[in-house]
Amino acid sequence: MPPATIRSTAKTVRLSRPEQVAEAIKEWVMEQGLHSGDRLPSEPEMIERFGMSKGTIREATRILEAQGLVRTRTGPGGGTFVHQMSPERARALLSNYFYFRDLTLKDIYQIRMVLEPELVASLAGTLSEDELSRLEAVMATYAHPAATAEEEREQHIASLRFHGLLAEMSDNPLMGFIIAFVTQTLSDLTVYRKLYDPPNHELWARGKAYQARLVEALRAGDSAQARDVMSLHMATAQSLMQAQEAEVIRRFMT
C-alpha cells in the first residue's frame, strides 16, 4: 500500500495515520451531510471501520476536537458529535496564526477604518431598542474618567467591547467575525503593550462623544450619518493610539 499523501500548494506531505483518519472522518461527515449535534460512530465502530487501534482513533478524535469540529461526551448516549464551532473558538484558532506575525496599530486601523463605517451603515435602522440599550449599557461603564491605571485598562477594554458588540449585531457573518476578531486583537495588543498606561484623557473624551453620536444615528436609522461618525471615530482613535504608542516607546527608551 503506497503512503497516503495529499497535494498541497508545493510539495507532497506525508500524513500520519491519526491525521489520515481525522481527514477520512471529516470527509465522511460532509458526504453524509451531518449537522451539528449528529452522532458519529462510537469508538469500537471506528476501530472496526478503519481497522486501527483505539489509540489511533482517539488521536484522530482529538484532532477533530482541537479544530472545533466535534465534541465528545462520556456515558450512555454519549459518543462523538458534530459540533458547530463557536466564534470565540474560531477567533482563538486564528490568533495562533498571528502570534508570530506581529501586527502593528497601523495594520489594524487600516482594516477598522474601512470596515467599521461600512458595518454601522448597514446596521442603522435595523437594531432593536434592546440592542441599542445594550450598547448604551456598555458606554455607561466608562461614563466617568478612570481613577486608577487598573480602571483605565478596564475602560479601554470596555470601549473596544462596544465595537465587538456592534460586530455581533451584523447579519453578515463574515463582517461580524472579522470585526470581532480585529477588535479582540487590538484589545490584546493594548493590554500586552500597556497602551492604556499614560491615561489619555482626549482619547477617552472624544471616543465617548463619537460613540454617543453613533448610537443616536443608529437609532434614527441615519445610515450616512452613522458611517461618517464612525469614520471620524476611527481616524481620531488611530492618531491618538499611535501617539500613545510613540509615548510608550519614548518612556521605554529613556
Partner DNA sequence: CCCAATTTGTTCGTATGTATC
Partner DNA sequence: AGATACATACGAACAAATTGG
Number of H helices, E strands in the chain: 10, 4
Nearer to its own copies, 24 or 90 (CB): 90
Nearer to its own copies, 98 or 194 (CB): 98
Which residue in this structure is represented by grid cell 458606554?
Answer: 139
Here's the x/- map for DNA, 54-93, by CB under 7 A: it reads as xxx-xx-x----------xxxxxxxxx-------------
Among 122, 133, 223, 238, binds its own copies (CB under 8 A): 122
Which residue in this structure is represented by grid cell 435602522?
Answer: 125
Q: Which region, judged by CB under 8 A, interacts with its own copies, from 40-48, 61-69, 137-145, 232-240?
A: 61-69
Q: Is 126 in the site for its own copies (CB under 8 A)?
A: no
Cα distance between residue 111 and residue 241, in whole Å: 15
Which residue in this structure is represented by grid cell 495529499?
Answer: 6
* Residue 250 CB neighbour total at 10 angstroms: 10
Cα distance between residue 104 and residue 252, in whole Å: 17
Which among 199, 215, 201 is positioned nearest to 247, based on CA atoms? 199
Cα distance between residue 75 and residue 73, in whole Å: 7
Which among 137, 138, 133 is positioned nearest to 218, based on CA atoms? 133
Smallest separation (angstroms) from DNA to the CB of 195: 39
Cα distance between residue 250 and residue 109, in whole Å: 21
What does 232 bind: DNA, its own copies, none (CB cut-off 5 to 8 Å by kind)?
none
Amino acid letter for position 36: S
Among 75, 97, 148, 254, binds its own copies (CB under 8 A): 97
Smallest separation (angstroms) from its own copies to the CB of 69: 6
- Which residues 188-247 are close enough to bind its own copies by CB under 8 A? none
- Which residues 15-54 are close enough to bind DNA by CB under 7 A? 16-18, 42-44, 51-54
Q: Which residues bind its own copies (CB under 8 A)?
A: 8-9, 16, 18-19, 22, 35-36, 55, 58-59, 62-69, 72, 84-85, 87-90, 93-94, 96-98, 100-101, 103, 106-108, 110-111, 113-115, 118, 122, 172-175, 177-178, 182, 185
